[in-house]
Amino acid sequence: MTTTDAPMADVSRSPGGNPLGFGRMLRKEDARFVRGHGTYIDDVNLHGMLHGAVLRSPLAHARIVSIDTSAAEAHPKVKAVLTGAVLETLGLAWMPTLSGDVQSVLATDKVRFQGQEVAFVVAEDRYSARDALELIDVEYEPLPAVVDARRALDPDAPVIRDDLEGRTDNHIYDWEAGDEAKCDEVFRSAEVVVAQDMIYPRVHPAPLETCGSVAHMDKITGKLTMYTTTQAPHAHRTIYALVAGLPEQKIQVISPDIGGGFGNKVGIYPGYVCSIVGSIVTGAPVKWVEDRSENLMSTSFARDYHMHGEIAATREGKILGLRVNVLADHGAFNGVAQPTKFPAGFFHIFTGSYDYAAAHCKVTAVYSNKAPGGVAYACSFRITEAVYLVERMMSCLADELGVDAAELRMRNLLRPEQFPYTTPTGWEYDSGDYPRALREAMRIAGYDELRAEQAARRARAAASSTAESAGGAAAEPLMGIGVSFFTEGVGAGPRKHMDILGLGMADGCELRVHPTGKAQLRLSVQTQGQGHETTFAQIVSHVLGLPPEDIEVIHGDTDNTPFGLGTYGSRSTPVSGAAAAVAAQRVKEKARLIAAAALECSPDDLEWELGRWFVKGDPEQGKTIAEVALASHGSLELPEGVEGHLDASVVYNPPNLTYPFGAYICVVDVDPGTGVVKVRRFIAVDDCGPRINPMIVEGQVHGGLADGVGMALMQVIAFDGDGNNLGGSFMDYLLPTSMECPSWELGQTVTPSPHHPIGVKGVGESATVGSPAAVVNAVVDALQIRHADMPLTPAAVWRATQGRPLRPDLAIE
Amino acid sequence: MNVTVTVNGQETTHDVEPRLLLVHYLRDVLGLTGTHWGCDTSNCGACTVWLDGLPTKSCTCLAVMADGHEVTTVEGLGEDGALDPLQQGFVEQHGLQCGFCTPGMLLTGRWLLNHDPDPDEATIRLAISGNICRCTGYENIVRAVRWAAEHPDGSGSGDGAAAGADITQEATA
């Protein structure tokens, strides 16, 4: 691995050998995981627990004529059978989505996608619950399905959401950003305009652990304890209170170890609600854990954006304008998880890393007979789609102008002196040095040498193709080099701009230093593998100098942590990490007052060194944080206005997002005979500000790069013309293995965020956001064509070489 | 019907349904929840255990098929409470994030090392290609296996030793 501008090495070490603050530190959480002692949702077993299973619709669109549950109810091990009719009596047949729509919990009138929840069985064991599903007789009246989003607004399209009063079509919203008139003017006078259609196909995050819950309603205390796979336990608690009318103080949401989330575990699924109702009805704890097909067919998908992009430029390659029209397929319910004011998420950051005279985007969203969702899979609220669009358009423009793809980007990247930079659609980028990151990626890649190798190969291929016509050898692989540059906006977000269902996107944090100097840090966010138990201890250590092994991070339990909106959109470090840093800073300042009292001097006479306040000019006279902690709990007379104990409670409202960025280069070899794409190399230079734990940051980037390769080359949730899901198992929904992934080559630059208390930016989704365009750009470069839609399977590559690069028919193939 | 299986060296006998999957036998009957249920179709490898020493996907194997055989799960790795060098390698090289694939990866990786103590990167990638990881992009898993090959006694690197020390303490407690 190559690095540049690494943050200053912190050589101070704790007694346990860990860095006091930033630096490589092995993870605290690994001790349980490598032994198989993690506690995931299916490992939660309560006394007397029953098991739930969901009956799902086999059809994409159908009216329910009747449901007969009598045979299931007669099953000796069945304790309860729930249907939409049962839930209707409780007012729970429908629930609000995170986008202000409603979603069916159990279908009452129609089914609207294949895999939709129709009934719920509670039985003594998981096999009996599944058996009983077979005994439920549902009569359906099939209806024509809307599968192709491009047909959803046709006048004769069947109306999917006839449950909504007055609804006569499948239109959800139109949303736009930027200055359309100014943009049109720029385009009218531009020397060069390049247009391109592209689809970002429907994919699924597919965490290795599926979704599930164990609900326990204690009828005596009236308390609901809800163990569940959630990235946002506090938001779930509030929503359960609102949906079910349960008193919020009697709801405890516990998110145990999460086997991967990637946005799949942000929303509330019908199975969760059914497990709660099942527990209320039976009086026993009820576990529900979906299987893989249920996960892929019914839980939050990602993307499904049909995009038309246009870029305007001068003949010399100075870009002038960018505009895009999007048709967004939201599925049967608008269940998108994003800040309320932004129905298309943060897609309007689509101008990316470049400067323009004008830009404009318009998004039209429609219902279809597919599963709901849309914002998931490490997308940073649709920035994935935005980066893919702009980075494809830049490569299309490079192709049009005959300019090298890296050179065109270098000419147009925002310059360091332009920061803070306000984009044409209103984002204020906090900090960046983009050319430096691109130069670094090109240096690691050996970019000029790669282009020279490519030219030599092409010359050889041209010569051998002449020879081949005279009976020469088979063609060698086609080499392609793809470049992408991304800017993300992460850390949602400022409360005045961003909320979800009216809940502002701030996060709380509590730090308590115990009398012995050991600390507990309570977080509102919830790790799904990001290593919060380690990283957040390092944040506190960085400020207070306490050994990170002495700081216990507590999270994932609403009874024992302060309120906050959870972990998604790369927001944990930008928001909750800031809260932790501020809490530590407040403890440090309180410690100064108490140390001064103990040392019988003025606080102004004290000076700080990591972990200790001491008297200026007399370093022997001082108090460590641990000594202050003991004094704060003891009999020391405290100064006026200083309370006992050493702790702090913070709610952090971020003033802006943080804007990580990066430059990626992908090298592929495409077999011209089979269309198989082999990723030879992948170079990723990320700038997320100072790295709290470089080992963890690199791990986050590695995982995102694998996601990018997967989406670019193999992953897609496709449907046939009847709306049957064609990606309902891992046999059909292909994920990258160790064989498809190269050995990642990482680099970094460090540009701190000016507004974050410790200068850090989010990084969890950077590589997923930035990498797909690099892979596609590389394949397109190898094939020497303008564009080809993802996923670039061998068949898709072959089609692209036959002049059929677009996959708008993807959904109905 | 009765099945007698030797799991991590301990012989157990239970009356089970013939259709009971081995993964559910291990998890629900024996309480060994380190083996995970990920996909049902033998694709993801989260349920990988050893059946008579051979990596086997327990989601597509019936408990009755293990009757009279030996099964090793992640709980059976390591000796006398100490970590197996490969477990230590996963810690040292950040070979896991969410940890859900880890038990399966460990059993596949330990099997490889038992048969090829010094595998190169290509060999490791081929060996773990039946185990899907959604978090790590595989790079650090490859490094973890290499670490174990280079540290057959499992002694830690000393880099960020606290996590390693904690592990040792927990293991011997």
The closest of A200, A206, A209 to A229, measured between CA atoms, is A209
pLDDT exceeds 80 at position A645: yes
Which DSSP state fits A725? B
- Please report the ipTM that was assigned to this predicted complex: 0.96
Is 90 exceeded by the pLDDT of residue B91? yes
Query: CB distance A208–B132 less than 8 Å?
Result: yes
Between chains, do A259 and B100 touch, taking CB under 8 Å as contact?
yes
How far is B128 from chain A, CA to nearest CA, in Å? 7
The CA distance from A474 to A471, in Å, is 9
Q: What is the dihedral of CA B14, B20, B26, B29, to 10 degrees?
A: -50
**Contact state of A33 with B99 under an 8 Å Cβ cutoff:** yes
Q: Which residue of B has its CA nearest to A211?
A: B38
Residues of B in contact with A699 (CB under 8 A): 94, 97, 135-136, 140
* Chain A touched by B8 (CB under 8 Å): no
For residues B143 and A5, which has the higher predicted lDDT (pLDDT)?
B143
pLDDT at A465 exceeding the cut of 80: no
How crowded is residue A533: how many other Cβ atoms within 10 Å of its Cβ? 20
Q: Which residue has 């024992």 as its token pair?
A: A560
Enumerate the residues of chain A whose CB falls inside 8 A of the CB of residue B139: 702, 741, 743-744
CB within 8 A of A288, min separation 6: which ones? A51, A52, A53, A54, A120, A212, A213, A214, A215, A271, A272, A274, A275, A278
Q: Which residue has the tokens 């909504």?
A: A164
Residue A633 pLDDT:
97
CB-hemisphere CA count at 13 Å for A95? 25
Task: Write down the pLDDT at residue A808.
Answer: 64
**H-helix segments, chain B:** 22-24, 85-92, 102-115, 121-127, 139-150, 161-172
Contact A485, A409 (CB under 8 A): yes
Contact A26 B126 (CB under 8 A): no
**Residue B162 confidence (pLDDT):** 39
Over its C-alpha atoms, chain B yields an Rg (Å, rounded) of 16
Question: How many residue contacts between A and B have a Cβ separation below 8 Å?
Answer: 217
pLDDT in tens, A349-405: 999 999 999 999 999 999 999 999 989 999 999 999 999 999 999 999 999 999 999
Is residue A2 pLDDT above 50, yes or no?
Answer: no
Task: Give me A48's structure tokens.
Answer: 């007397």
**How far is Cα A778 from Cα A782, in angstroms, rounded to an integer?**
6
State yes or no: pLDDT of A159 exceeds 70: yes
**If you measure CA to CA, which chain A residue comes closest to B76?**
A35
pTM for this prediction:
0.96
Sign of the Cα torsion A604, A610, A611, A615 reads negative
Could B134 and A14 be called an inter-chain contact, meaning their C-beta atoms sit closer than 8 Å? no
Contact A702 B140 (CB under 8 A): yes
Query: Which of A28, A530, A731 is nearest residue B43 as measured by Cβ atoms?
Result: A731
| A14 contacts on B by Cβ (under 8 Å) | 162
The alpha carbon of residue B68 is apart from the nearest alpha carbon of chain A, in Å, by 24
| Cα–Cα nearest to A251, from A553, A268, A354, A10 | A268
Using a CB-CB distance cutoff of 8 angstroms, which residues of chain A are in contact with residue B37? 42
Which H or E run includes A621? strand A618-624
> Residue A369: is it exposed, middle or buried by C-beta count within 10 angstroms (0-12/13-18/19+)?
buried
What are the backbone dihedrals phi and psi of residue B5, each rounded to the nearest 5 degrees, phi first? -130, 140
Res B145 pLDDT > 60: yes
| Residue B76 in contact with partner chain A when CB distance is under 8 A | no
B 91-150 → A contacts, CB under 8 A? 91-92, 94, 96-103, 106, 121, 124-126, 128-142
pLDDT digits (tens, 9 = 90+) for A570-625: 999 999 999 999 999 999 999 999 999 999 999 999 999 999 999 999 999 999 99
Q: How far apart are CA A760 and CA A754, in angstroms?
A: 9
Query: Would the pLDDT of A692 be above 60?
Result: yes
The CA-atom distances, in angstroms, between A243 and each of A87, A268, A504 are 12, 11, 19
Do B26 and B7 touch, CB atoms closer than 8 A? yes
Please indicate whether, in this complex, the C-beta atoms of B158 and A17 are within 8 angstroms of each other.
yes
Its sign, for the CA torsion A339, A343, A344, A348, is negative
Query: Cβ contact (<8 Å) for A37 and B124?
Result: no
Please report the residues numbered 13 through 42 in chain B whose beta carbons come closer than 8 angstroms to any beta carbon of chain A: 17, 19-20, 24, 27-28, 32-41
Sequence-separated (6 or more) residues with CB below 8 Å from residue A220: none
**Is 80 exceeded by the pLDDT of residue A106?**
yes
Which residues from A are below 8 Å from B20, CB to CB? 127
Q: In the prediction, which pLDDT does A6 show?
A: 44
Q: What is the rounded CA–CA span in Å between residue A65 and residue A71?
A: 18
Q: Mean pLDDT, to the nearest integer, of A225-246?
A: 95
Q: What confidence tens digit (pLDDT) does each residue in A249-271 have?
A: 999 999 999 999 999 999 999 99
Which of A237-246, A599-608, A625-634 has the least mean pLDDT? Answer: A237-246
Cis amide bond preceding A372, omega within 30: no
Q: How far apart are CA A347 and CA A618, in angstroms?
A: 57
- Which residues in chain B are contacts of A702 at CB distance < 8 A? 136-140
B67 interfaces chain A, CB cutoff of 8 Å = no
In order of start, what are the domains of chain B with their CATH numbers?
Answer: 2-76 (3.10.20.30), 85-172 (1.10.150.120)
**What secondary structure, in 3-state letters, does A540-565 show?**
HHHHHCCCHHHEEEECCECCCCCCEC
Nearest to B166 among A31, A261, A731 (CB): A31
A66 strand-pairing partners: A139
- pLDDT mean over A193-203: 97
Whether B168 shows a pLDDT value over 80: the answer reads no
Q: At residue A7, does pLDDT exceed 80?
A: no
Option in B77, B94, B159 nearest A699 (CB): B94
A343 or A337, which is more confident: A343
User: At residue A138, what is the residue type?
Assistant: V
Mean pLDDT of A59-88: 98
Nearest CA in chain B to A127: B20
B interface mutation test: which of A25, A27, A28, A30 has the most B CBs within 10 A?
A: A30
Distance from CA of B23 to the nearest CA of A (A): 12
